Structure formats: structure tokens, C-alpha cells
Amino acid sequence: MNTDSHAFIFLSACVVNNFVLASFLGICPFLGVSKKVDTALRMGIAVLLVMLVSSAAAFGINLVLQSFDAEYLQLVSYIAVIASTVQLVEMIIKKFSPSLFRALGIFLPLITTNCAILGVALFQTSREYSFSQSLVFALGAGAGFTLALWLMSGLREESEFADPPKLIKGTALSLMIAGILSMAFMGFAGLGA
């Protein structure tokens, strides 16, 4: 059992060990869908949703696997759970917001291979979080992911007006912004410890 308080788990997953800016997980959608603030926010919420559902499912599956002494199946079964959760979210979004579905494009099915989500499932297992701790952890991770996307999209929208040298225009510039943002997040190191 893990004795960390819920507030600490949330803060740690959201800010101190932010999945994108401190652990460098989920960089693909972070760079892919951070061009516009609106899309970025919705992507963040979609990821948050998938994280919550797959975290709850992973907790149950882990219990079942442990009772069979079959923990070696964790990775495979987590991936299967995440893939089906993403399918679910994809169907919901397609039904209720076709425009968002088009805006997210390939990055929506790609949530399946988003290492941040697999990270949530694996971290919560290895840290032996209880069910409620797991959910708070997933919530914090998703909120942190959304926060990173929100900050990044604002900076990128502003850099649209900039006049960077040809060499660095586009992805290279985004990576540089992400790097500086990550350096700024180093200030949270050790917070609450």
C-alpha cells in the first residue's frame, strides 16, 4: 500500500512531475494538437477522460491478474483496455461533436499509443496506489497534460505572428518553446516533498 495523501498525488502528477514537461510522456499529441487553444483544450479533456476510465479499468484488471499470479500480462491487457477506451471516446466525440472529431484528426486514435496513458496505468500499479489514489493520480496526470497543452497552445498561437528564421520555423520552434517551458517547470521540483 502507498500512504501518500490524495492532495500530494494530485499535485505531484499535475505540476511537479508533469507528464509532458517533467517526465516527457505524451509528447506526440503535445506537439501535434497544440496549434490552436480550443482544439488543445478539448484534446486535453479527451485524454483526461481516457486516463480516468483506463485507470479504473487497469486497477480492476490488476486485481484479477494478481489473483491468477499472471502479472506478466499487465502490459498487454493495459494496452487492450486503453485501445478500447479510446474507441469509446472516439465514438462519443464523433456522435456529439463532429467538428471536434475532424479537428483532432489522426491524434484522436493516436491516444491509444499515447505513452502518458499507459504511463498512468503502469505507474499506479508499480506505486501500489489504492483505487481512490489511482483515480486521483489519473485526474492529476490528465489535468497536468491539459495544463501543458493549454500553455503551449497559447505560446504557439502567439508565435504565429513572430518572424523566425526559415531554418527554425515550425516544429523546431515548437520544440524550443517546449524546452523553455519544461525548464520553467523545473521550479516546481521538490514541491510538497
Partner 1 sequence: MSNFFATTLSTSPHVKDQRSVPYIMRHVVYATLPLVGFAFWNFGWSALLVVATTSFFCVLSEGIFNLLTGRASSVGDYSALITGILLGLTLPPAFPLWMAAVGSIFAIIIGKAIFGGLGHNPFNPALVGRAFLQAAFPAAITTWSIPQAPQRFASLLPSTLAFPFSTPNLDGSAGATPLALQKFSQTASPWQDLFVGTSAGSLGETSALLILLCGLYLALRKFLDWRIPLGILATVAIFSGILHLVNPNFASPLAAIFSGGLMLGAFFMATDMVSSPVLPRATWIYAVFIGILVVVIRIWGGLPEGVMYAILLGNAISPQLNRLIKSTPYGHGNKAGHGNKAGQGSKA
Residues near partner 1 (CB under 8 A)? 37, 150-151, 154-155, 157-159, 161-165, 167-168, 173, 176-177, 179-181, 183-193
Alpha helices in 68-165 (DSSP H): 74-96, 98-104, 115-126, 131-159
Residue that the C-alpha cell 518553446 belongs to: 177
Supply the minimum distance, in Å, between the C-beta of residue 77 and partner 1: 37
Supply the minimum distance, in Å, between the C-beta of residue 166 and partner 1: 8
What sign for the dihedral angle of Cα 73, 80, 52, 50?
Answer: positive
DSSP classification of residue 13: I
Supply the minimum distance, in Å, between the C-beta of residue 9 and partner 1: 16
Are the beta carbons of 125 and 74 closer than 8 angstroms?
yes
Identity of the residue, 70 or 180, whose beta carbon is nearer to partner 1 in the bound complex? 180
Identity of the residue, 75 or 183, whose beta carbon is nearer to partner 1 in the bound complex? 183
Tell me which residue of 112, 119, 120, 114 sits closest to 136, measured CA to CA. Answer: 120
Supply the minimum distance, in Å, between the C-beta of residue 178 and partner 1: 11
Identity of the residue, 53 or 151, whose beta carbon is nearer to partner 1 in the bound complex? 151
Identity of the residue, 109 or 192, whose beta carbon is nearer to partner 1 in the bound complex? 192
